[in-house]
Structure 1
Amino acid sequence: MKKVFRLVGIVLSSLVVLVMLSACGSKALSAQNVVTRAKQTNTITWGVKADTKLFGLMDVKDDTIKGFDVDIAKAITKQILGPKGKANFVQVTSQTRMPLLKNGNIDAIIATMTITPEREKQVDFSKSYFDAGQSLLVKDSSPIHNIKDLNKNGATVLGVVGSNSVQNVAKAAPKARVLQLSDYAQAMTALKSGQGEALTTDNGILFGMAVENPGYHVVGGAFTKEPYGVAINKGQPEFKADVNKALRQIEKSGEYNRILKKWFGNVKGFNYKEMERH
């Protein structure tokens, strides 16, 4: 009889464990603890751009995304999970990055995403990992030299849907006409075809576009401050704290500056010394 009761007890215990596991598994991805899941899988999944030179660009030779954001994500992953921790990358755009994060398809966004009060209503941000500023990209022969020139003759400026740069231009140059494209590749094509006189976004992105497209350059300096942050779902304080701690560690160790120099050290017009962190 004792054996029967012991067997029943084992069965009941097993059922309780199964129910608990089932409940855990049925929880929405966005509601699961990111740190717990990351440690279980030894992986952090990052949303990154794949069309933005210097920050995140698809290398067709080996079908991998490479850039400053990607390397910073890898460094953060190693700090949080250890040297064998894996960083998984999912391609995002300015339009898709927020829905993918909110649905739990990615753990964090590191994709030239500016920290703004409006976005902070939807997600949490890490400390800034890159202090960008909005500028203009024009042809070398362009008469446009700064944001004020956009007001002359109602110039058309090109931007990207989902980016806050379009709203910034509307404030700084209200007489300019704004044409929004779905991504930076299309915006650059539109600039080359004469659909606009200038392309606007953060200067870090524009420097990459200038490197990739001879005959174009960045003008006017930065007319806004656009600090980039890692976007994290609300309700993930542990993960946010871990990301911030990791950023401080790679800055203190010099790894941040090595990554910065790797991608921006030889970019014309980029003030590397001004952007270094210690």
Structure 2
Amino acid sequence: MRLSPSLAACGCLIALIGGGAHAQASSTLDKVKASGSLVLAYRESSIPFSYLGADARPTGFGWEVCAKVVEQVKKATGRADLQVATQAVTSQNRIPLLQNGTIDIECGSTTNNSERAKQVAFATNYFYTGTRLLVKAGSPVQSLADLNGKKVVSTTGTTNYQVLRKVNAERKLGFELMAAKDHAESALLVQQGRVDAFGMDDILLYGLRASLPNPAEMAVVGEAIQVEPYAIMLRKDDPAFKKLVDDTLAALIRSGEFEALYKKWFLSPIPPKGINLNAPMSPQLRDNLKALSDKPAT
């Protein structure tokens, strides 16, 4: 089942009046054992990590990993009758909704960095990506150096927006940086010709491109800026739940299931258009399958 928008809004209000502290009073596993419910957060357009499929239900690589976590939560809490609720989140509200207890775990494409680690916790890094540009095919913009005098959009609340603002200032690139509410809106602005480029994690750009009616109309260009890890996001100061999620990932890696899921979502045709992203596993991720590190980006 999904939480209604009014319930999500209520969760935000509770946090403002002090409910956030209450959510931290017990561990996630204690909360789940008592309530019989776990709330999984998903993104609506973070292909192929979590997004809405043709049936309007969440799907994706991160979503399937979280399904494995749910199996372990059932065992750890003794709640075979566990009810799983789902809640859509955005770049802006995902951290507040986790902190105030509206959601229990975020199964998406959130960058694990030092600043966010002050507010939330992250499981073992399960992907690595870098900021690149989505442009119209044939665009004169092929790299950062081509952005002088151009309009660039990125999604509000993302590390990519901050990276682009920083590189624009440091390299004096001279582009106008705009913000959109989500990845889908950012991509639409490029399609409509209202901006020249959309700066975002390259794998998400490939996913957005693949979901378009005519993917050949768009291109992913430019050198990768600041390679960063993705990880499942959890509440801070909850070591028991973090251990369960980390252990679940470690078991998937040892069994070969993680690599099978990777091939399914990054190297095979995926919904909704049956397009193959053809995104081979990066050296950084390959190394982390051995290291099992949750080290954040700086």
Rounded to whole Å, the distance in 2 between the matches of 1:77 and 1:135 is 33
**C-alpha separation in 2, matches of 1:273 and 1:163:** 22
- Number of aligned residues: 249
Identity %: 28
Shift of 1:97: 0.6
Question: Hey, what's the Cα distance between the residues in 2 that align with 1:86 and 1:74?
Answer: 12
Unaligned runs of 5+ in 1: 1-26
User: 2: distance between equivalents of 1:29 and 1:167?
Assistant: 30
CA contact (8 A) 2:266 2:278 kept: no
The equivalences for 1:244-263 within 5 A come to 244-263=246-265
Q: Structure 2 counterpart of 1:236, which letter?
A: D
| Aligned-residue offset at 1:101 | 0.4
Q: CA deviation at 1:40?
A: 4.4
**Unmatched tracts of structure 2, length 5 or more:** 1-20, 269-275, 291-298
Which residue of structure 1 aligns with residue 209 of structure 2? 210
Q: Which residue pairs with 1:159 in the alignment?
A: 154
Are 1:113 and 2:110 counterparts?
yes
* Letter in structure 2 aligned against 1:36: D
**Partner residue in 1 for 2:227:** 225
Which of 48, 54, 59 is the aligned partner of 2:48?
54
Query: How big is each residue's C-alpha offset from its partner over 1:140-163, in whole Å with a ceiling of 9 and x where there is no partner?
Result: 11112222322x2x2111111111
1:242 corresponds to 2:241: no
1:269–1:258 distance in 2 versus 1, CA, 3 Å: closer
CA contact (8 A) 1:52 1:184 kept: yes
Q: Classify 1:264/1:163 alpha carbon distance in 2 versus 1 (closer, same or farther; 3 Å).
A: same
- 1:1-278 maps to which residues of 2 (within 5 A)? 28-41=22-35, 43-61=37-55, 63-82=56-75, 87-150=84-147, 152=148, 154-174=149-169, 175-213=174-212, 214=215, 215-266=217-268, 267-272=276-281, 274=283, 275=285, 277=289
Aligned partner letter, 1:76: V
The 3 A distance-change label for structure 1 pair 258 and 172 is same
Q: Counterpart of 2:210 in 1: which secondary structure?
A: helix
List per-residue Cα deviations over 1:74-100 (Å, max 9, x = no partner).
122223434956643211010111111
Query: Contact (CA 8 Å) 2:267, 2:278: kept in 1 or not?
Result: no
Specify the structure having the higher radius of gyration (Cα). Answer: 1
Q: Deviations over 1:143-194 (max 9, x none)?
A: 12222322x2x21111111111111012223322111010111111111111
**Which residue identity lines up with residue 112 of structure 2 in the other structure?**
I
Distance 1:253 1:80 in 2: 19
TM-score, length-scaled by structure 2: 0.77
* Counterpart code for 1:35: L
Letter in 1 for 2:131: Q
Q: Is the 8 A contact 2:45 2:208 kept in 1?
A: no
Question: Match of 1:66, as an amino acid?
Answer: T
Structure 1 residue 244, shift from structure 2 partner:
1.0
Provide the rounded CA distance (Å) in 1 between the counterparts of 2:95 and 2:194.
29
> What's the TM-score once normalised by structure 1's chain length?
0.82
Q: Contact between 1:56 and 1:67, CA under 8 Å: does it hold in 2?
A: yes
Cα 1:86/1:220, change in 2 over 3 Å = farther
Considering only aligned residues, what root-mean-square deviation do their CA atoms show, in Å?
2.2
Three-state SS of the structure 2 residue aligned to 1:120 is helix
Shift of 1:48: 1.2
CA distance in 2 between partners of 1:236 and 1:105 (Å) = 16
Maintained 8 Å contact 2:23/2:99: no
